[in-house]
Structure 1
Amino acid sequence: MFCIRHIGSNFLRAFKVPHLQKLVVNIGYSITVEEYNINYKRLEKRGEAYARWCNAIGLRHWVLAFDEGHQWGHMTTNLVECINSVLKGARNLPVLALSVETHKRKRAGYTYSAFAQQRIEASMQQAWNIVVHHFDRRNEVFEVRQMTTGKVLVVDLTRRTCDCGHFQVERIPCRHVIACCANQRLDWQLYVHHVYKMTEVRKVYKFEFTPLGDPDTWPPYEGPTLVANPAQRRTSKGRPKLTRYLNEMDSCDIRGPRICRLCGAQGHSRSRCPQRVGPSGAAS
């Protein structure tokens, strides 16, 4: 799977049309085939070259409606970056310190179930305006209607599908599924995928670290001598420096020199402008 943010950056680099970058991102986030067709036709009307560029990527690599459930609703690499940030401070440490730091930070995995819990709570708050219009309890097939829009959707609990697309993409009960479960007094927790449960999260950490014991009892080391890189040493004070390579996605974060709004010169602000009338201007 490809990160949708990088696809948007590559599209902007290829065509230089910032007003269409958001449309390309919306195509990737299309959950249903109907939604994809609408967004794709909008892009195709802007230019066939844009549509051909998107077709070259391959639908199953970046569109949620065609990814066969591999992305679980995650379109960026932010999930991986979150795990990297947990162990960022222990990357360049010696083996002993690396094991100790990883052992201390391994409890950060509880956030996975918190993500599912937040989505379910949001669906519960939105399920009140959904009416179960027609149902087949034996086959667990329901027809629901949204009171606000009048849209009619079909929910199949046996196949775990919903016409909105969220149920099969995220494997979490959407508001339509929760409305059906409330109407038939079914337990909605049965339709939450086991990946989001804490029992599965704890399996990641089921292999415990072997106690290292007293370092004085270790056998003598006869390998090469490792010297720490002074460039990797963390500074004790000051604002941390950005170590990530910037590209078109970070254009809004890259600022130019400070320009005074009073005189138009660079290097100072309006409050410290020499031409300002007042105590600060007179002092400078």
Structure 2
Amino acid sequence: MTMNISECVNSILKGVKNLPVCSLLKATYRRLAELFVRKGREAEAHMGSGQQFSQHLVKCIEANLKTARCFTVTVYDRNNSEFTVAETTPTGSFSLGSYRVSLASHTCDCGYFQALHFPCPHALACCAYSRLTWEPYVH
């Protein structure tokens, strides 16, 4: 992970690495300002089209939904929306095991639900089991 970050920074600063610190900061500021303007326009266009979530998020959710089909869900506590999710077949990204999911507190033992702030495959399996939509669980 460190290598990817350093390579990313090096590629961004490719043409200005040998400049003095002041020039380096100005170039970095200019590039960030351009990025924020571009991303702001993209977000405005996205919101103007009536879509609630970004394309990247929808792709991640679709991939997680495919993975969620390989799980068996057991209700642990229906009042608190807590479930136990067991993998029936290996998915590649998770090892065979059991995960505890709390939809009410937006947590899962795998850690992805808390870290990414959108439902992991285990949480999506619980949503499908309970016939709930996943949209309310996106931060």
Normalising by structure 1, report the TM-score: 0.32
Separation of aligned partners in 2, 1:168 and 1:105: 25
| Structure-to-structure mapping, 1:86-97, within 5 angstroms | 87=34
Counterparts in 2 of 1:136 and 1:105: CA distance versus 1, 3 Å: closer
- Map 1:62-141 onto structure 2 (within 5 A): 84=31, 87=34, 106-109=40-43, 110=46, 113-141=54-82
Pick closer, same or farther for the CA change 1:105–1:144 going to 2, 3 Å: closer
Question: CA contact under 8 A between 1:154 and 1:162: conserved in structure 2?
Answer: yes
Aligned to 1:153: 99
Q: Which fold has the larger relative contact order, with Cα–Cα distance below 8 Å and residues 6 or more apart in sequence?
A: 2
Give 1:185 shift. Answer: 0.8
Instruction: Give the superposition deviation at 1:7.
Output: 7.1
Cα drift, residue 157 of structure 1: 1.1
Distance 1:87 1:174, change over 3 A: same
Q: Partners of 2:78 and 2:39 in 1: how far apart?
A: 46
Matches within 5 A, 1:183-198: 183-193=129-139
Quote the Cα distance in structure 1 between the aligned partners of 2:134 and 2:4.
36
Q: What secondary structure, in the 3-state scheme, does the structure 2 residue paired with 1:87 have?
A: helix
**Distance in 2 between the 1:85 and 1:115 partners?**
21
Q: Which residue does 2:2 correspond to in 1?
A: 4
- Structure 1 residues 167, 86: CA separation in 2 closer, same or farther (over 3 Å shift)? same
Aligned to 2:18: none
Other structure's SS at 2:132 match: coil
Bigger radius of gyration, 1 or 2? 1
CA offsets 1:233-269 (integer angstroms, 9 cap, x no match): xxxxxxxxxxxxxxxxxxxxxxxxxxxxxxxxxxxxx
Structure 2: which 5+ runs fail to align? 14-30, 47-52, 91-95
Is the strand fraction higher in 1 or 2? Answer: 2
What CA distance in whole angstroms lies between the structure 2 residues aligned with 1:115 and 1:85? Answer: 21
Task: Classify the secondary structure of the residue corresponding to 1:172.
Answer: coil
Q: Give the Cα–Cα distance (whole angstroms) in 2 for the partners of residues 126 and 86 of structure 1.
A: 38
Could you tell me the TM-score, scaled by structure 2's length? 0.62
Q: What CA distance in whole angstroms lies between the structure 1 residues aligned with 2:33 and 2:102?
A: 39
Give the letter aligned to residue 113 of structure 1: S
Unaligned runs of 5+ in 1: 10-75, 89-101, 194-284
Deviation at 1:158, TM superposition (A): 1.5
What secondary structure, in the 3-state scheme, does the structure 2 residue paired with 1:143 have? strand
- Residue 73 of structure 2 aligns to a residue in which SS? strand
